[in-house]
Structure 1
Amino acid sequence: MSRRSPFVVELSEADRTVLEQRSRAYTAPYAQVLRARIVLMAADGERNAVIAQRLDVDVSVVSRWRRRFCEAGLAGLDDRRRSGRPRSFPAPVVAEVKAMACEPPEVREVPLARWSSAELAAQAVAEGLVMAVSASTVRRWLHDDAIRPWLHRSWIFPRDPDFAVKAARVLDLYARVWDGVALGEDEYVISADEKSQLQALSRRHRELPPGSGRTRRVEFEYTRGGTLAYFGAYDVHRAHLFGMTAPKTGIVPFSALVEQVMTTEPYASARRVFWIVDNGSSHNGVRSIQRMRTAWPTAELVHLPIHASWLNQIEIVFSIIGRKVLRPADFADLDALATRLTAFEPRFNATATPFDWRFGRRELDDLLHRIGAHRTADLSPLAA
């Protein structure tokens, strides 16, 4: 007869409830289920040998989990931390490769435009940092710090001398503030711009719709059916889009868009309507402000800084139109293109909600600070 274990299991009501739930769990790891059953049977007075026979495990397994529960309770049934496989590469080597990834290849006289994981691995070997290292290992190192040197995006340094002031005014309007005063319920903010040179491309052969195991196929060759311009005005707080097409951009079609909005309620009877625009030829300069004020006394034209269309919310709408309406392009003629653009407007307005715009004055200050830190000594300040 086997001797009794010196570890006597006594369960509280709470512990028994937890263990019974674990022992019946179908989706839990089997190791957790087994440990719970061992402890429950031990609490019922069963000996280790009997428990091992019923659960078809070695008696040493039963002894281990009985002892660990008595020593640490439920926490004793968890897996202990393991040391794991020792590092193959010392931390300084990993840090040096990451630093290399953050530098342009030309710094090390490597004739590349950007690094890949394979190129970084080869360069680490060439410089004697390691005897050998795989591209997948380097990729894991970079993944830990979200370093992706094979990607790039274009941007431009602000060169408007009043960039901060102009940008802050627009961001305040998005927050429904003007000159430090909150906007009233009868004041509105419109973001407007135009997309030029939209092409009516007609594919030479009919496209193939998607099917089982097949993506949609669009013919590469096309014929050109001309171009038109699309003008959009977007109420940033009501998420309402006004749009129109014209043969080309210019003051006249933009003025027609303004008239379309300003003669529609609630803007027709509004106390003020702020129009946020970039510095395009249709609405740039002091004359455009005077022209707007003369035609519509309640309208206030607010210009973005130069090269700051990314602060104009209508550009988000244009991005949606580009992805959902214009691409892939296959239009019989300009009328077909204009018809689809016009038909999209009520569809968009039926479900649109204001954009979750989170870029405010604080983020602007942080951006300008980081841009200033990136400038080299020979670059002039923002006024350049």
Structure 2
Amino acid sequence: MSRSGRPKAELVLSEHEREQLTRWSRRAKSSQALALRSRIVLACAEGLDNKTVAARLGCAAATVGKWRTRFVEHRLDGLSDDPRPGRPASISVEQVEDVVVATLESTPKNATHWSRAKMAERTGLSRSTIGRIWKAFELKPHREDGFKLSNDPLFVEKVYDVIGLYLQPPESAVVLCVDEKSQVQALARSQPAFPMMPGMPERRTHDYVRHGTTSLFAAFNTADGTVISSLHRKHRAVEFKKFLTKIDTEVPDHLDVHLICDNYGTHKHPTVNRWLAAHPRFHMHFTPTYSSWLNQVERFFAYVTADLLQRSDHRSVQALEADIRNWVKAWNEDPKPFIWTKTAEQILDSLKRLLQRTTGAGH
């Protein structure tokens, strides 16, 4: 005769409890632990046994049993963590939820975003308490990032094309991410910098004198992280063709060359197209408009900026170009390839969710 185990305590939800549990389980920014516990209780309320609930939610049966029992004994309060030694918490779950919901779904009067002072005034909690709640839920109302959605009619096709080169590069070929970092300025600070000292950062004057510009052409090898580079005072189709000639010289003849570029006009100029027609081993792949984040060479340019250009002090373009050449040479002595992990499907799904949150589109 099979054993049925210990009898389970009956779990029946009131309308208020079901509504609250559903809210906790669905809110994207809620504590994931609380969301799981809420889903456990909701599933148990359907009459399912612990093993069935555990299999559905991907957790251990013992976990289901723990929160089933806690809820039966203490109801909604039983889903919070066990009390720890020290002063009892003076802030309720409802107050925390109110702060999080208000931060995510509203704005203060006569302001574009919440500050600690404004949220403290609204809720009656202290500023430090608001700060701790925001830190726990990783909310930063004072910060914002920019974005620009592509309007390229071939966006999906280009994403699949570029990501395919990253994740499954063709055989007997090299994949190079190509672009120009144009208008790199040789800037000379008006006064010498004060060096860093204990308790004091390095200090530089805000004003400077311009001594001309140069453009860094770079081809980033996605396989090994090495870079083919060239410096030109201008960045026209003529200079881009010269750079393609340099790539042709440095890449072994038996390899095809796949270039990932943006939609800058020089990359599609008739002069460049004629050169490409005369060099059939070269294949051009274009990122969608407003999608430079797909091009790995942009990450390389960010390193150049942070390590060299951000605090540069050059009295001539020649000095600037010499430092750039030395920096690229040092990079190639210890190259760092970037490991691309996102598939095209994952990228498109992320953009779909963004569209749904911002415009309701993307269905």
Q: What TM-score comes out, normalization by structure 1 length?
A: 0.68
- Change in CA separation of 1:138 and 1:212 when aligned onto 2, cut-off 3 Å: closer
- Change in CA separation of 1:339 and 1:82 when aligned onto 2, cut-off 3 Å: closer
Q: Distance in 2 between matches of 1:104 and 1:338?
A: 50
Give yes or no for contact 2:167–2:340 (8 Å, CA) kept in 1: no
Mapping 1:151-230, distance limit 5 Å: 151-177=143-169, 183-184=170-171, 186-230=172-216
**Number of paired residues?**
282
The alpha-carbon deviation at position 81 of structure 1 amounts to 6.6
* Aligned-partner SS, 2:267: coil
The alpha-carbon deviation at position 365 of structure 1 amounts to 2.7
Q: Distance in 2 between matches of 1:215 and 1:89?
A: 39
Q: Distance in 2 between matches of 1:313 and 1:86?
A: 51
Q: What TM-score comes out, normalization by structure 2 length?
A: 0.72
The alpha-carbon deviation at position 213 of structure 1 amounts to 4.2
Amino acid paired to 1:310: W
The alpha-carbon deviation at position 84 of structure 1 amounts to 5.0
- Change in CA separation of 1:314 and 1:113 when aligned onto 2, cut-off 3 Å: same
1:118 to 2:110 alignment: no
The alpha-carbon deviation at position 174 of structure 1 amounts to 0.6
The alpha-carbon deviation at position 355 of structure 1 amounts to 0.9
Correspondent of 1:269 among 254, 258, 273: 254
Quote the residue 1:309 is aligned against.
Answer: 292
The alpha-carbon deviation at position 116 of structure 1 amounts to 1.6
Correspondent of 2:126 among 106, 124, 134: 134
* Aligned-partner SS, 2:98: helix
- Change in CA separation of 1:290 and 1:104 when aligned onto 2, cut-off 3 Å: farther
Q: Distance in 1 between matches of 2:176 and 2:243?
A: 12
The alpha-carbon deviation at position 112 of structure 1 amounts to 1.2
Quote the residue 1:145 is aligned against.
Answer: 137
Quote the residue 1:322 is aligned against.
Answer: 305
1:102 to 2:104 alignment: yes
- Change in CA separation of 1:314 and 1:306 when aligned onto 2, cut-off 3 Å: same
Q: Distance in 1 between matches of 2:291 and 2:190?
A: 38
Amino acid paired to 2:267: H
Give yes or no for contact 2:266–2:272 (8 Å, CA) kept in 1: no
The alpha-carbon deviation at position 288 of structure 1 amounts to 7.6
* Aligned-partner SS, 1:256: helix
- Change in CA separation of 1:82 and 1:269 when aligned onto 2, cut-off 3 Å: closer
The alpha-carbon deviation at position 95 of structure 1 amounts to 1.0
* Aligned-partner SS, 1:216: coil
Give ranges in structure 1 of 5+ residues lacking alignment: 1-79, 125-131, 178-182
Quote the residue 1:88 is aligned against.
Answer: 90
Q: Distance in 2 between matches of 1:284 and 1:221?
A: 38
Moved more, 329-338 or 139-148: 139-148
Quote the residue 1:248 is aligned against.
Answer: 234
Moved over 6 A (4+): none
1:343 to 2:322 alignment: no
Give yes or no for contact 1:284–1:303 (8 Å, CA) kept in 2: no
The alpha-carbon deviation at position 324 of structure 1 amounts to 1.0
Q: Distance in 1 between matches of 2:114 and 2:133?
A: 14
RMSD of aligned C-alpha atoms? 2.3
The alpha-carbon deviation at position 139 of structure 1 amounts to 1.4
Q: Distance in 1 between matches of 2:156 and 2:263?
A: 16
Q: Which structure is larger by alpha-carbon Rg, 1 or 2?
A: 1
Q: Distance in 2 between matches of 1:81 and 1:206?
A: 57
* Sequence identity (%): 27
Amino acid paired to 1:202: A
* Aligned-partner SS, 2:184: strand
The alpha-carbon deviation at position 100 of structure 1 amounts to 1.0
The alpha-carbon deviation at position 136 of structure 1 amounts to 0.9
Write the deviation string for residues 278-322 of structure 1: whole angstroms up to 9, x where unpaired: 01122147x587435313210000000000001100001100000
Q: Distance in 2 between matches of 1:292 and 1:366?
A: 38
Give ranges in structure 2 of 5+ residues lacking alignment: 1-81
Give yes or no for contact 1:194–1:249 (8 Å, CA) kept in 2: yes
